[in-house]
Chains A and B, each alone.
Chain A
Amino acid sequence: MIRARRIAAAQLSLVAALSAYLLQAGPARANLPAAPDLAPQTEEGDLWAAECVATFGSDRRCTERALSAGKPGGILQAGRFVLLLLDGRILAQSCSGPPPARVRASGVLHQGSRAMTVFSLSALCEGNWQVVDLPFSGIQGNGTESGNE
């Protein structure tokens, strides 16, 4: 009698565990994107010019100068630097406040989060998140071709 009760209890707990797994796993599986590697991700941190990271440019204006010259920039956060695959001049216009600006980028990460193809960009300006206009982020940059030749 006692043995039969124990078996019934074990079966019941097994069914409960399986039900819990199915209830949890079902929706999770259904929400998986068709191409997980292309799922947009978001990075948030301080905007830095790549040059200032490479040279430890502690000058507050280092990032501003470099980005204005079209040099690449990215997000520095928790010991990681994510290079944003954009024209640096777009990043230079991300916020009118003093650097480093706080930015949030959404896009596809590459090479273990070393670089990001950016879909959308926001900057924290005077306490408000403002969307940065990406004039044309197609294959050929912003299309202006007005470099520093």
Chain B
Amino acid sequence: MSKHGRTGLCLLVLMLSACAPVGIAGRELTFPGNRSTRIEGQIIEARCYLTTSSVAADHTYCAFRSARGNLPLGLLTDDGHLLFLTEAPSRLADLVTQRVRVRGLATANKQLLQPQVIEVLRNGSWAKVAL
């Protein structure tokens, strides 16, 4: 192989090795800095909340049925921010409209929350929920 050929091959290898991490990181760059966090708020059924702002009271039964039907749930914080829970909604149906404390992995843009531990406030004390 000529000197130019070897140089070209080296350049190609360098380019490919430089591009590979970018390709993998490209996915991570979408949501950089996902981190473990603990957030307190109220579990809501996302679609009704987003279309009607319904949270509890008359909406509780509807939210429960919707969660059983696997419509996505969210955690509404006291400052009005909504994070979507990535867990299967039907598994959390009993918690709709309840006040909870969630420890888990949140995307940096605070759009998604992957729950690891959920505690629900019942009779003034926090009770751990089995996931």
Contact = CB atoms under 8 A, between A and B. Distances in A.
A117 B72 contact: no
Interface in A14-41: none
Interface residues of A, number: 40
Contacts of B46: 83, 85, 115
Contacts of A103: none
Given A50-B112, A76-B30, A115 B84 contact: yes
A114 interface: yes
A43 interface: no
Interface string A47-82: 001110111101000000010011110001001110
B43 interface: no
A79 B69 contact: no
B69 A140 contact: yes
B18 to A, nearest CB: 20
Interface residues of B, number: 38
B68 A81 contact: no
A111 interface: yes
B2 interface: no
Contacts of A144: 69
Contacts of A146: 90
Contacts of A55: 34, 105, 114
A145 B87 CA distance: 16
A147 B89 contact: yes
Contacts of B85: 72
Interface stretch (B4-12, B47-55, B119-127): B47-55
Nearest to A78: B30
Given A69-B88, A71-B86, A142 B105 contact: no
Given A89-B70, A111-B50, A139-B48, A81 B86 contact: no
Interface string A94-122: 00000000000000101100110100000
13 contacts: A51-B87, A53-B107, A54-B31, A54-B106, A70-B70, A115-B46, A139-B47, A140-B65, A143-B69, A147-B69, A147-B70, A147-B93, A148-B88
Q: Which 5 A-B pairs have the closest CB atoms?
A: A141-B69, A147-B90, A87-B70, A51-B86, A72-B72
